[in-house]
Amino acid sequence: MTSEVRLIKVGPAGRSCRDSQSFDLRGCSEISQIFVSVGGGGIMSIQFQYVENGKYVLSDRYGSDFNASKFHTIELNHPAEYITGINGLYSDNIKVITFTTNIQEYGPFGVTHQISFPQSFAYNLGKSYQFGGFHGSYHHSGLSSIGFYLCPKIVPPPRLGSKIPKIEA
């Protein structure tokens, strides 16, 4: 029997087009900051800072800041605060996004006007620590899609004040 943690890939929500590029942060579960650029077309780019081997690591920027008119920094109180949900709206790309943690909600970020045939998405990971990283796609005009990895519970939850266990990719 192996002790390997199996992650469940959920999503992505949104639409990938022919010229989309994908990103995959499987196992990058200890998010400390999220950076969101917003323009007239919705979410222009997204970037993550996460903790790996005790050090802060900054991901690539997924999307473009071309025509971005707003920039948001979400600072999580890592390791006590962690992602428990993501929701938003999309049509041709991600228009609105909100991040939920075990402590609070951040957002909504994006634009709600001029959305033709919007579709919503809502991913709820539960109250315990089960987030296993982000994945999705982007192109020159913004964030196309976003999803996440779910790490099902396999060990008892940590006691209050103890460190969150590291998820291996």
Q: Which residues contact 7 (CB under 8 A, 6 or more apart)?
A: 26, 27, 132, 133, 149, 150, 151, 167
Contacts of 87 (CB under 8 A, 6+ apart): 97, 98, 100, 120, 121, 122, 123
pLDDT (tens, 9 = 90+) of the chain, 169 residues, equals 344 568 999 999 998 777 889 999 999 999 999 999 999 889 999 999 999 999 999 999 999 877 788 999 999 999 999 999 999 999 888 999 999 999 999 999 998 776 777 899 999 998 889 999 999 999 988 999 999 999 987 666 666 666 665 655 5
